[in-house]
């Protein structure tokens, strides 16, 4: 009786679950995208087919199917599936899962796959607690992260895992998922008609995130039902989306990827690309003063002596952004970025300073030559401080005089 009740409860919960959960694939055949990982002959597919799964890290953008793939793998390998979120769980829950995994392995030789969502959220001690369990095979770890594992996962744990990169889904992948959701009994069951351009638009603006696409479709469908209309048009989809979902994490890898793209676009004198990457940051909520600081740095690092006015413009842009803030300062920063992209380039000062840093780090601190020292006291004059210094304004032409320490005489830092 209890089992029947649990089954009915599970069915009811599934009916009321969000569309994205109801449409979650249960087999590799229905799984969208990631052909490089699960296509015929792919490494991960081979490991699944042979039932030789190592501990793994799935790295990819949101909505690419990391959780779904882990569940499918557990089903195909007949393993227990335990899922935790690193945001809300800790070592105590990990210990419970490990104890149960040991018991199941001992009594029924059943393996356990531990799926840790957002594993990068666990601190060092929490990640370290996984090490002995992974090494001994008590659990097979599948960690999911949107951040670069090289930076966010402890080296010891990462060295014991295979990293598989999940790519952003294509618009075509998303479109297939949407069409399946519209027709499927688990989805909208064909009860509404969706215009082709509405599906195309939703597949495109979802930006590779299946969850965003399906949730937006569900919201639009509910609004259509309330309005008692039968056809879902593109305008309703736009309303459901509210705004484009920009993938940008101000503290994550995408933050550094995009600022790098802006910098390199300006360096390559591509003003259009520079404006695009600038817009990606500002429209996603990046601090405009952070962007302005990067522009100031670029003005000296890459434009430098080729156009010293660039630094003046960059500083003015910074001050203006500080004074008026967003959104009004967006055009000011765009003006500055376009100017820097179009300006002539010289990294001579940047290269010179790098060479200076190298000499300072690797060579002894050389004394200031006596003739360059001031001599405000009698003793200093007796010690020859300032002796032989040639006061430049007294000479009509160039003055032959050394300004570097003796051991660095003739050193050329700033190239012509």
Return the SS3 of 193: strand
330 to each of 5, 52, 149, 169, how far by Cα in Å? 58, 53, 33, 31
Q: What confidence tens digit (pLDDT) does each residue in 25-58 have?
A: 888 888 888 889 998 889 999 999 998 899 999 9
Q: What is the pTM of this model?
A: 0.62
> Residue 58's pLDDT is what?
94
Range with the lowest mean pLDDT among 135-144, 174-183, 185-194? 185-194
The token pair that represents 403 in the structure block: 């300004």
**388-410 pLDDT per residue, tens:** 999 999 988 888 999 999 889 88
Helix (H, G, I), strand (E, B) or coil at 112: strand
Are residues 291 and 278 in contact, defined by beta-carbon separation less than 8 angstroms? yes
Largest CA distance in the chain: 108
pLDDT at position 186 over 50: yes
Distance CA 209, CA 59 (A): 14
Confidence of residue 298 (pLDDT cuts 50, 70, 90): very high
Beta-carbon contacts of 186 under 8 Å, excluding residues fewer than 6 positions away, are: 14, 22, 23
pLDDT score, position 137: 87
Which SS3 state, helix, strand or coil, does residue 408 take? helix
- Which tens digit of pLDDT belongs to each residue from 145-185? 988 888 888 888 999 999 999 998 998 999 999 999 998 88
Please, which pLDDT band fits residue 212 given cuts at 50, 70 and 90? Answer: confident
Q: Which whole number is the average pLDDT over 122-141?
A: 88
- Least confident segment among 220-224, 280-284, 289-293, 316-320: 220-224
Q: Flag whether pLDDT at 242 surpasses 70.
A: no
Residue 251 pLDDT more than 70?
no
Q: In this predicted model, which residue has the larger pLDDT, 346 or 224? A: 346
pLDDT at 220: 84
> Tokens for 183?
């027709």
Domains belonging to the chain, first-starting first, are: 34-165 (3.40.50.300), 171-241 (1.10.8.60), 253-342 (1.20.272.10), 367-408 (no CATH)
In this prediction, residue 303 has a pLDDT band, given cuts at 50, 70 and 90, of: very high
**Per-residue pLDDT at 7:** 46
- Ranking 260-264, 268-272, 360-364, 388-392 by mean pLDDT, the lowest is 360-364
pLDDT of residue 225 exceeding 80, the answer is no
CA atoms within 13 A on the CB side of 286: 29
């Amino acid at each position: 009786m209890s089992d029947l009740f649990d089954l009915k409860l599970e069915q009811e919960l599934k009916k009321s679950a969000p569309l994205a959960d109801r449409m979650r694939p249960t087999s590799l055949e229905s799984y969208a995208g990631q052909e490089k990982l699960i296509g015929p002959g792919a490494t991960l597919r081979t490991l699944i087919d042979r039932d030789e799964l190592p501990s793994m890290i799935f790295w990819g953008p949101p909505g690419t199917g990391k959780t779904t793939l882990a569940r499918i793998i557990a089903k195909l390998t007949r393993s227990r599936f335990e899922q935790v979120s690193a945001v809300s769980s800790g070592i105590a829950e990990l210990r419970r899962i490990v104890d149960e995994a040991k018991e199941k392995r001992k009594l029924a030789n059943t393996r356990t796959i531990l799926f840790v969502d957002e594993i990068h959220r666990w601190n060092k001690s929490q990640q370290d607690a996984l090490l002995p369990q992974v090494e001994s095979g008590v659990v097979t770890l599948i960690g999911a992260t949107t951040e670069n594992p090289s930076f966010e996962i402890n080296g010891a744990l990462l060295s014991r895992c295979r990293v598989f990169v999940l790519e952003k889904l294509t618009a075509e992948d998303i479109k297939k998922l949407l069409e399946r959701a519209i027709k499927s009994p688990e989805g909208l069951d064909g009860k509404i008609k969706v215009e082709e351009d509405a599906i195309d638009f939703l597949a495109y603006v979802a930006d590779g995130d299946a969850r965003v696409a399906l949730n937006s479709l569900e919201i639009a469908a509910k609004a259509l039902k309330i309005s008692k209309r039968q056809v879902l048009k593109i305008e309703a989809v736009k309303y459901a989306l509210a705004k484009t979902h920009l993938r940008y994490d101000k503290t994550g890898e995408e933050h550094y990827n995009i600022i790098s793209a802006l910098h390199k676009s300006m360096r390559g004198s591509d003003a259009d690309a520079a404006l695009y990457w600038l817009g990606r940051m500002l429209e996603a909520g990046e601090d405009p003063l952070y962007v302005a600081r990067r522009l100031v740095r670029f003005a000296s690092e890459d434009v430098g002596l080729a156009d010293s006015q660039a630094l003046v413009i960059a500083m003015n842009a910074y001050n203006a952004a500080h004074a008026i803030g967003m959104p009004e300062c967006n055009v000011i920063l765009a003006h500055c970025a376009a100017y820097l992209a179009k300006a002539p380039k010289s990294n001579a000062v940047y290269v010179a300073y790098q060479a200076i840093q190298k000499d300072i780090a690797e060579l002894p601190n050389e004394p200031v030559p006596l003739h360059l020292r001031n001599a405000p006291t009698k003793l200093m004059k007796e010690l020859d401080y300032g002796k032989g210094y040639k006061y430049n304004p007294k000479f009509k032409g160039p003055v032959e005089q050394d300004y570097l320490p003796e051991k660095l005489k003739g050193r050329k830092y700033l190239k012509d």
